[in-house]
Amino acid sequence: MNAPGESFPVTRLSVVAAARSNDAAERSLALEILFAAYWKPIYKYLRLKYAQAPQDAQDLTQGFFAELLERGLLAKFDAAKSRLRTYLRLCADSFALNEIKAASRKKRGGDVTHVALDFSTAEEELRTQAIDPASIPSPESLEDFFEKEWIRSLFSSAVAELRKLCEVRGKQKAFLLFETYDLDGEQNISYADLATQHGLPVTDVNNQMAWARREFRRIAMEQLHTLCGSEEEFAREARALFGETPK
Amino acid sequence: MKFLNDKAIERLRGSSIPDLSGTRYALRELIARGGMGVVYAAEDEKLHRRVALKVLDTAGTNAELTQRLIREARILAQLEHPGIVPVHDVGTLPDGRVFYTMKFVEGLRLDEYIKQLDSIPQRLRLFLRICDAAAFAHARGVLHRDLKPANVMVGSFGEVLVMDWGLAKILQEPTAAEETVVVSSQKKISSEEETQATVVTGHGTVMGTPGYMSPEQERGETEQIDARSDIFSLGALLKFVAASSQDRSERLPRALQAICAKATAKEPERRYESVSEFAADVSRHLDGLPVSAYSENVFEKLARFYKRHQIAILLITAYLVTRFLVLYFFHR
């Protein structure tokens, strides 16, 4: 099993189908996938929306995922009514409101085994994004923020998978080029500049970048497919994310 | 996991949208997406005019496709003809993708425009203008290899333009003066790239559109492909142009059917030798003259003769009848 939140587990089922499976291992995998894709967006969202201190937001995030499992919330998801992402955000809202109202941190933390998540990186990211947790944006902008964080989480995990793939196939150079151009991307860097920097012909840079981008998109689409509640949702999400209808 | 900033996310999401910064063009909207690239409407900010900008889609960007796009632009640049969409500029995006700009044609695709033309003669005259463009390209040693209704545009002033030369094949080597084409202010395309580009469409590669592709093209026999392959496509195009006009129950004139059949013969040697010969037959049919593709019987010859000289025959007949009646009553 992968360390939670560090990489995207592989499943042949969508996360919703896995959550409804009779197989306990599949159900556990569903939660693992959700952890990987959603823990950071949920944490940052709860931290900002409810102006929670880091420790409290961490407890809320852990508690929310525990409740997802305990109450079988994923099995109750109806793809015809909403997107899985919206459903999870609303569940997180409802959970956080109840918890804050009851102020029962002890209960929430008491019976639940916490998963080791690196909340310090999430805090660091919030600082990098120059978002002041003390200032609470409007609900609409928080929804947008959650959407954006979800995309960031999905892409980050796809980039991590791409890095692994490049290592396995001995294509570290391709990843390095992709990282330099697309991830760290200086404003005016060109393929010719990259070629000079790495001592490669421009055609090599062109080919390796094309391969890396294609693989990145394929991985992201596969992960998106797993995270969607239905094929229709996947088609909609793929169009929204990449402007293309999945084949 | 690496933290991705907003800029990186936007780049990863929209990496297929070309970044035109540093060029003279501003992106407007997507016009069409094809197998090789994407065509956008763009604004030439120096000349304040709209152009069509063709660029490789990111997902398909590789050296071979890059060479094909460059080659397409070079071919278009050599084909200055009113029936062939003119190329304006070639350049390189900051990410290394090659693009070229061409005339932005405001109009309709042939398959849409043709619905506005009711009569066969109108449609045949339009078809002859497509033949003019193809004949010109053949004279310059270029085969289109993908002639079909979707690749012909009719502009708002009735101008007919043959588009999408991405599958074109060069039969003749370029002259020394054509060896080098400036791609951007920094980069030039060498004749070596041209050689590589030819390999792209080399032996065994099936390219074209079913229904409009000649049998030899379908079999991937690229060495066998010559002007007669385009003639096959033009024959299929003529069938489309002539037949889609009609009330389906009405049959095409036999001579026209024979012209289509000859142009789309399975064996290349049974087709017209050149587009000019093919177009001449269509013109002769339009003028009511006998065509090389069809041997008429005596009744058909008479019918055609009557149709061609209808007014003169009627006048002469009227004169003869009058003369007869005058003589008849005078001698009575």
Cβ contact B4–A156 (<8 Å): yes
Residue A168 lies in a domain: yes
Query: Can you give the pLDDT at residue A138?
Result: 59
How far CA A62 is from CA of A117, A235, B252, B255, in Å, comes to 9, 31, 76, 82
Tens of pLDDT, residue by residue over A18-60, are 777 778 887 778 778 888 888 888 988 888 888 788 888 888 8
Query: Can you give the pLDDT at residue B243?
Result: 82
B60 CB within 8 Å of a chain A CB: yes
Q: What is the mean pLDDT of chain A?
A: 78
Query: Can you give the pLDDT at residue B186?
Result: 30
Q: Interface pTM (ipTM) of the complex?
A: 0.74
Query: Can you give the pLDDT at residue B194?
Result: 30
* Count of C-beta atoms within a 10 Å radius of residue B262: 20
Residue A182 lies in a domain: yes
Residue B132 among the catalytic residues: no
d(CA A24, CA A9): 16
Quote the minimal CA–CA distance from A54 to chain B in Å: 19
Residue A79 lies in a domain: yes
Residue A10 lies in a domain: no
Query: What pTM was computed for the model?
Result: 0.53
Across the 332 residues of chain B, what is the mean pLDDT of every consecutive 10-residue run? 76 70 80 73 92 75 75 90 93 81 91 86 94 94 91 91 87 46 31 30 51 86 86 94 65 89 94 94 90 83 82 91 91 78
Given a cut of 70, is residue A146 above it in pLDDT?
A: yes
Residue A19 lies in a domain: yes
Q: Give one DSSP letter per residue of B253-293, joined into a string.
A: PHHHHHHHHHHT-SSGGGS-SSHHHHHHHHHHHHTT---TT
d(CA A246, CA A231): 10
- Return the number of CB contacts < 8 Å for A and B: 87
Residue A49 lies in a domain: yes
The amino acid that residue A213 corresponds to is R
Given a cut of 80, is residue A111 above it in pLDDT?
A: no
Q: Name the domain count of chain A.
A: 1
B63 CB within 8 Å of a chain A CB: yes
Q: Give one DSSP letter per residue of B130-164, joined into a string.
A: HHHHHHHHHHTTEE-S--SGGGEEEETTS-EEE--
Query: Can you give the pLDDT at residue A10?
Result: 55
Q: Which residues of A touch B10 (CB under 8 A)?
A: none
Query: Which one, of A31, A10, A36, lies nearest residue A165 by Cα?
Result: A10
Query: Can you give the pLDDT at residue B193?
Result: 31
User: Which of A155, A197, A198, A244 is best to mutate for the B interface (most B CBs within 10 A)?
Assistant: A155
Query: Can you give the pLDDT at residue B89?
Result: 93
Helix axes A24-49, A139-168, angle to 10 degrees: 130
B185 CB within 8 Å of a chain A CB: no
Helix axes A119-128, A24-49, angle to 10 degrees: 40
Residue A237 lies in a domain: yes
Query: Can you give the pLDDT at residue A1?
Result: 39
Cβ contact B11–A185 (<8 Å): yes
Cβ contact B94–A189 (<8 Å): yes
Tens of pLDDT, residue by residue over A52-97, are 888 888 888 888 888 887 787 877 888 778 888 888 888 998 898 8
Query: Are the CB atoms for B154 and B113 separated by under 8 Å?
Result: yes
Domain that holds residue A123: 15-242
Query: Can you give the pLDDT at residue A192?
Result: 75
Residue A3 lies in a domain: no
Query: Can you give the pLDDT at residue B87?
Result: 93
